Amino acid sequence: MLQVENLNKSFGSKQVLFDINFQADNGKILGLIGKNGSGKTTLFHSILKFVKYQGKITIDGHSFSSRDYNSVGYLPEERSLMPKLTVLEQVSFLASLKGMKKDEVKSDLQDWMQK
């Protein structure tokens, strides 16, 4: 079960998520709809630990970790890069979702960049 409790998120002085609370039971599909700019992407980025937030997010009773990426699906509307990350950091992050170590990624990065 995914549990979100008292989730708040701000970017500087602009608060974008306000005390979000919900649970998604195992085996159920959860959809999130809303206007552009309403915080949907920020909510998912918080759940997936792409951004820091205030509040508590747990999956099956524990804090979300790299082992949980195989059980949670996220399909963004558009493919995007995280603008504050270097290419190495971006590739390392995506590779870590599939269990690769940063040193392994770094050694293979040149080959991947040429492809």
Condensed to tens digits (0 to 9), the pLDDT of residues 5-49 reads 999 999 999 999 999 999 999 888 878 888 988 999 899 889 988
Query: Is the pTM here over 0.75, yes or no?
Result: no
- Domain containing 92 equals 81-115
Both 73 and 108 in one domain: the answer is: no
Both 60 and 114 in one domain: the answer is: no
Both 61 and 5 in one domain: the answer is: yes
Residue 53 pLDDT exceeds 90: yes
Both 64 and 100 in one domain: the answer is: no
Both 90 and 44 in one domain: the answer is: no
Both 33 and 86 in one domain: the answer is: no
| Residue 34: CATH number of its domain | 3.40.50.300
What is the count of structural domains for the chain? 2
Both 32 and 55 in one domain: the answer is: yes
Tokens 């293979």 map to which residue?
Answer: 108
In angstroms, how far is CA 71 from the centroid of its own chain?
Answer: 13
Instruction: State the burial class of residue 79 (Cβ atoms within 10 Å of its Cβ: 0-12, 13-18, 19+).
Output: exposed
Both 15 and 70 in one domain: the answer is: yes
Residue 75 pLDDT exceeds 80: no
